[in-house]
Structure 1
Amino acid sequence: MKTINIKRVYDSKESDGTYRVLIDRLWPRGIKKVDLKMDEWDKEIAPSPKLRIWFDHKKEHFEEFSKLYIEELKLKNEDVERLRKIAEKQPLTLLFGAKDHEINHAVVLREFLLKN
């Protein structure tokens, strides 16, 4: 498998030679669609609205959020396998809008793609 990067959309608007996938269910605030260089927007791979709202990017929820999100990912075989196939052919960048670089769903998704 090639490299799987995670980058915050606000820090990485320009194309970087990788296959870039926005993995948020909601469009990031303050970013124009024409300004974000990406190959696709995969809303379905994002956490469910209920889980996202419960998590609320609170550090104390992250461990439980990770477990629950992994359970959701196990049910999204088609999306997960498609991203893995992309990562096998070329470097993949998962784009996210959260403020925290370490406490977010992109971290969980990256680890899931690499381990499972």
Structure 2
Amino acid sequence: MIQCKRAYLPAADEDGQRVLVDRLWPRNCRKEDLPLDGWLPQLAPTTALRREFKGGLLDFATFRQRYRQELAAHPEHWWPLLERAAGGTLTLVYAARDERENNARVLAEWLEEELERRADPSSPTCYAGKPLE
């Protein structure tokens, strides 16, 4: 199971593995106060894409499409999260105020699709040169 949670909400036992998926550390949040199992800033949208979306130059649909293109171009960034998600609950931690339209939601959707593809015996056996085991 993959879920998303704001960095400013308290951690819970049901969060499972908690991974921060923002390029920048959350504001006003001390590192020792944010329980995490990892921080993968390279998984976040590029700085240019994040700024365009945050600045209102892109709507969420366009942001989502462009971020998914970035994810497709770098499977080495998200591939390790598939194993974590397959092994139990994975919580993608993010700092955005909007709980519905943010990079963690897009990433969660992407990872869920990849997990489904891995489980589907009729799907291809490799993705971007990596076996789907």
TM-score of the aligned structures, taking structure 2 as reference length = 0.80
Q: Alpha-carbon deviation of 1:90? A: 1.6
For each residue in 1:53-95, what CA deviation from the matched residue of structure 2 results, as whole angstroms up to 9, or x when unmatched?
Answer: 0000749610000000000000121122110111111210000
* Match among 62, 65, 70 for residue 64 of structure 1: 62
Q: 1:80 aligns with which of 78, 81, 100?
A: 78
CA contact 1:8–1:96 (8 Å) conserved in 2? yes
Give the total of aligned pairs: 113
Alignment identity in percent?
A: 38
Q: Kindly tell me: are residues 65 and 115 of structure 1, through their superposed partners in 2, closer, same or farther at Cα, counting changes over 3 Å?
A: same
Provide the aligned C-alpha RMSD in A.
1.6
- Rate the CA distance shift 1:111–1:59 in 2: closer, same or farther, 3 A: farther
Higher relative contact order, structure no. (Cα contacts within 8 Å, ≥ 6 residues apart): 1
Counterparts of 1:59 and 1:113, CA distance in 2: 26
Spell out structure 1 runs of 4+ moving beyond 6 A: none
Paired residue secondary structure (1:27): coil
User: Which residue pairs with 1:54 in the alignment?
Assistant: 52
Q: Which structure: larger Rg?
A: 2
Q: Residues of 2 paired with 1:20 and 1:84: CA distance?
A: 13
Residue matched to 2:13: 16
Q: TM-score, normalised by structure 1?
A: 0.91
Please, which of 34, 37, 54 is the counterpart of residue 36 of structure 1? 34
Deviates more, 1:26-35 or 1:14-23: 14-23
Distance 2:32 2:51 in 1: 27
Q: Structure 2 counterpart of 1:16, which letter?
A: D
Letter in 2 for 1:63: A
CA distance in structure 2 between the partners assigned to 1:38 and 1:28 by the alignment: 13
Segments of 5+ residues of structure 1 without an aligned counterpart are none
